Amino acid sequence: MEELCGVGAAAPLRGDAEEPKQGSVLFLGGNEVKSSAVVKYSSAPPQAAFARLQEKTDLKLPPANWLRESAKLGPAGTTILGNNKKSKPFSSFGMAYDFIDSVGNDVDVVSDSENIKKLLKIPYSKSHVSMAVHRIGRTLLLDELDIQELFMRSSQTGDWTWLKEFYQRLIDQKWQRKKKSKEHWYQKAILSKFLYYSINGDGAAQPVPSTSKQHQEGPVSGESDEAGRSSWPAPFEMPSSLSEDPGASNQGSVPLEPSYIVGHVASAPKEQNLTTLFNDGENSQGLKNDFVRNILWTFEDIHMLVGSNMPIFGGGRYPAVSLRLRDNNKPINVLTGIDYWLDNLICNVPELVMCFHVNGIVQKYEMIKTEDIPNLENSNFSTKVIKDIAQNILSFLKSNCTKEGHTYWLFKASGSDIVKLYDLTTLCEETEDKYQNPFTMPVAILLYKVACNMMLKKNQNKKHYGTIRTLLLNCLKLLDNGRHPQIIASANYMLSELFQLDEPKKEDSTDFPINGNSDESYSEEEEEMPDSDENGSYSNSSDPPDDNKAVAIIKSVGELSVPEKYKSVHRIRPSCAFPVCHGTEERCRLVLNYVLEGLKSVDSSVKKEGDLPAADPSTPIPLKYEDESTSGGPECLEKQMALFLDKMGSFQKGKHCSQSGMIPGSWQYKMKLQLILKSSKAYYVLSDAAMILQKYGRALRYIKLALQCHDTYCCLCASMLPEVLVFLCQCLTLCGDIQLMLAQNANNRAAYLEEYNYQTKEDQEILHSLHRESRCQVFAWATDLSTDLECQLSVSCKCYEAAYEILLFSNLKNQNPEQHIQVLKRMGNIRNEIGVFYMNQAAAVQTERLGNKNVSTTEQQLWKKSFSCFEEGIQNFESIDDATNAALLLCNTGRLMRICAQAHCATEGDFKREFSPEEALYYNKAVDYYLKALRSLGKRDVHPAVWDSVNWELSTTYFTMATLQQDYAPLSRKAQEQIEKEVSEAMKKSLKYCDVDTVSARQPLCQYRAATIHHRLASMYHSCLRNQVGDEHLRKQHRVLADLHYSKAVRLFQLLKDAPCEFLRVQLERVAFAEFQMASQNSSAGKLKTLFGALDIMVKAKGAFQLIRKELVAESEQKSKDKSSAENVSPNDSPTGLNKEEVLKLLSIFESRMSFLLLQSIKLLTSTKKKIGGINEEEVVLKTNKQVYSLLLRATANKSTTLLERIEVILNLLEQLAQNNEASNGGIQ
């Protein structure tokens, strides 16, 4: 809980987050003024009751406790009672450091209460005003700028000469330091003694030892004089040129050294743990917050963080009062009244106790309520006017002090009505370097601290990103790399952290507003936009020539009393918002730019003899390539991989080395680690983006840079964090993906090589920084662009293996299951790719091997490599329960076995060719692998496409085995019956796995395969029937089976619209089968029935001829459309894929068999007619057959008819025969 001033409560810790209490509304002089005060921090002890002094007490005599520590006052007692009301320079910075949360956002002004009072009294006072103003976000920091003290220092050290010259030239031609009068020191002495009397308790003056009398005036004077002089730090220079103020002895002032700047800096600020700069640094330079109270004072709509040392007394009837001493002969004036009123408002003290004296002799006491102070006699003032003055001054300053990091000087000369505002930073840069301004460093530190504080909360509200970026950029503008490398490196790292590399692109436009209309989104480039004259002009166009250096001028202090005379015209510019990156590459490039600046700062601060020679950024780093013939290919890769894993293992043992000589644990060491890791992540994201765009050469270049960064990180880091190892796995995995894509897209190799060799200047400079620490060659094996396909595939595989090994030996497998699964999937996939590569190579070698019957050693080696890859890939997929991919690899293994089987067959020219045992062995192995694939899937629902594919391959294998056994029967080893049995079984198994019913793209193929199997089985049984003698039961069985399979083959071929020749061939074989049956028949009736059945089969072949005619007509139309193309068509092929030679051959056979059947039917019908006599249906059939036979003979005799005409004739004849089918069936019983 916070403490309301005047209530004795335990003081909260400085900087504690506290909820402010609602302040009271005061009604003073009929004017309503809203004021509330909340104590954020207090070091004062509980209020002590003041002792009312007896009349005639002589304040010129010192009390016994004078200038001694008191329990009632606490350790700050002498500070409170001896306070000379002189504000220390940089006092606002000390408060800002302690209450960093308030700076930039919630508070309008941070200052000493004395400065606030001085500003609000400007229209009433003739005294001079000199203040330094700084802007941090929407907050203004006000500090007294004691020009006289500065010029005293200038005369001793030679510093600030530029400001002294400017002051003398434009403001006061004859400057001289004014000495304070004896009366001034006299009044301070009796005030000090009065306050000590007031806490003494007995109300009596006690004599003190004579030795202390000499301190009556001296100590007070000396203390005050030295305090102000010694609190100014030296200008900010290199340590070698730092100078101490010889007079700065009382406060222990020390020159500002780099330890002040970077004392205990967070050398590696992280998102979760951004350690603040300076634990002790600010306390060594008078930048500490030494106020007794820090109060959050709200005056109307102005929020101020104010420091106050006013003594507050309490107890008894008066819980909180302020105590004042006044000369009875001097009435209270307006300035004193405003002073007392504001002090009580700021500290929320309700009453004022006034002690009047004459020449140091106490006369009387008077109690005055705070709200009555504005109405005192001779001190009457309007509180509303004070409110207007406050609002006008704040508006004036906010409108003109727009540049962060700049020091503005608000100046009013004694007796003058003109208030001027100068930009000292600009004036300083025009004359000397900016580090002659002593405010430069404290402002830079404060900007950095506010940014650090906001970075800790950046995930809570991303709208602050623009603000953080602006703070850091303005901080960097104030710093010199040679003097402050650590802050520069840290600020650049934080700037790079603002860009979230792993977030989607849309976050730039959706998560926070692009152009925020709040004071949090200010710009470092705001322009001053003067009001019109009616609203109080800031323009100095009509001012005398000596005012041309002023940023803005208040022409008369009387204007400040006019309500809303000055309105804040501070404009929020869109440029302050967080930059919108229009792509991943742009975002990463910004990150890398900040990282590079950070690396430069770190490297410049590391000095070591024998350092690497300075590299020329314009000279590209040579890319080393090795000839594939000398590198040894995969064997050499194995050695490099082993070395890499050995090195990775050494990281776990805590080994590290740095070529530049950085000391482990130093800020350079920690910061460089963070910067290198950030650059590695940026390059990884760039590589991933290039991969998506299929720019594989660029992707490989970026992943090479990412891994080179990682290599340097590994050289520096004593122990690898788990998240860093996981990131390394991701990099290696992506590198493997890129190498695989390069292997699969070999046609664009020249373009990829060009992309790979290109380098930006930024990338070169980052590489030079990396080379200061390591050779960056650990990952060279993974990132070279090879021209050999096998090498690319091997490198890809090794990348995945390396990633997997890292996950294994670092025990990250269980913590990162998703990463583990992805790596294993990729390992399985690349091993499948390599296995297919070797398998295709083996098939190519086999094709080239024409004359040599024996299998070559090369082929066998390729088979072994391919099989080994498939086997390892299957294990990878099975280990993660990926049944589908395991089935695909088993399927590929089956295909490899079939290639092995094909390699063992004899040459085609050998007429003794037989189906060999080796072929049978490998085909059976292929079958085993296909069956394993089906078992792996379990059921079709798991993956229908893969299931169908495996079934088809299995069906094909059985079909190939059966066909080879049928066509090249191993009669030397097996009996015919056994061969027929094996062929029959293989064909049936092929049919089993040939799905003709499921509608799919493969259905026509399955139907064709099934039709072919039935055709082959029918032919086999037909052949058995022809060659078999004896066993009648077996003959009958073969006859039934042949007829059955012919019927099934016909039915399936009829479903297909693109196999007329196959359909015709089956029908002709059925006719031949009928002729064979007819030859064994004796009765005429039986023969006639068989003949009519055969003719019926021929009639049913009409569909095949119709398809052939359709294709021939289409071909003819195509020829007529394009004669030129017709010349290029060979006579045996048609554009529709019809084999004309095959058609002619089948047509001739068809005409021959049809002629034979018609002739035989005519003969049989004629002989039957002679025997029976009479007219019946057979005569009609006979007449039709004779007519058809006649037409057929004429057509076949005409050699000039075209193929299409011959088919038309056949179709016509078949139509005639079809009409007599029923008659023939009915006539012959």
Instruction: Determine the Cα–Cα distance for residues 610 and 751; give it in Å rounded to an integer.
Output: 41
H or E segment and range at residue 39: strand 31-42
- Residue 423 CB contacts under 8 Å (≥ 6 apart), including other chains: 403, 406, 407, 408, 409, 551
From the list 967, 956, 894, 882, the residue with the least C-alpha distance to 927 is 894
Token code pair at residue 659:
């070529």
Contact 219, 88 (CB under 8 A): no
Instruction: Return the number of other C-beta atoms located less than 10 Å from residue 380's C-beta.
Output: 12
Q: What tokens were used for 882?
A: 């990926």
| Whole-structure pTM value | 0.72
| Biggest alpha carbon–alpha carbon distance for the chain | 178
Dihedrals phi, psi of 37, to nearest 5 degrees: -135, 130
Give the pLDDT score at 657: 61
Amino acid letter, residue 802: A
Instruction: Dump pLDDT digits (tens) for 1116-1166.
Output: 887 777 665 444 544 554 555 677 788 888 888 888 888 888 888 888 888
pLDDT of residue 435: 57
Radius of gyration of the chain (CA): 52
Residues of the chain where predicted confidence (pLDDT) is lower than 50: 1-30, 74-80, 82-84, 202-286, 504-546, 570-575, 608-613, 623-632, 649-655, 909, 1125-1127, 1129-1130, 1133, 1173-1174, 1224, 1226-1229
Pairwise CA distance, residues 626 & 636, whole Å: 11
Tell me what pLDDT residue 431 has.
64
Distances from the Cα of 936 to the Cαs of 106, 882, 923, 940, 952, in angstroms?
A: 66, 9, 20, 11, 16
Task: Output 686-691 pairs: Cβ under 8 A, ≥24 positions apart.
Answer: 686/584, 686/585, 686/588, 687/734, 687/738, 688/734, 689/583, 689/584, 689/585, 689/588, 691/734, 691/737, 691/738, 691/741
pLDDT of residue 690: 93
**pLDDT tens readout for residues 32-74:** 688 888 888 887 777 777 888 888 888 888 888 787 776 555 4
Q: What is the pLDDT of residue 456?
A: 81
DSSP string, 1044-1092: HHHHHHHHHHHH-SS-HHHHHHHHHHHHHHHHHHHHT--SHHHHHHHHH
Identify the burial level of 811 via C-beta atoms within 10 angstroms of its C-beta, where 0-12 means exposed, 13-18 middle and 19 or more buried.
exposed
3-state per-residue secondary structure call for 260-326 = HHHCCCCCCCCCCCCCCCCCCCHHHHCCCCCCCEEEEEEECCEEEEEEECCCEECCCCCCCEEEEEE
Q: What is the pLDDT of residue 201?
A: 56
Predicted local confidence at residue 893, as pLDDT: 95
H or E element at residue 27: strand 25-28
What's the CA angle centered on 897, arms 895 and 898, to 5 degrees?
Answer: 65
- Tokens describing residue 308: 């106050």
* Lookup: tokens for 888: 């695909």
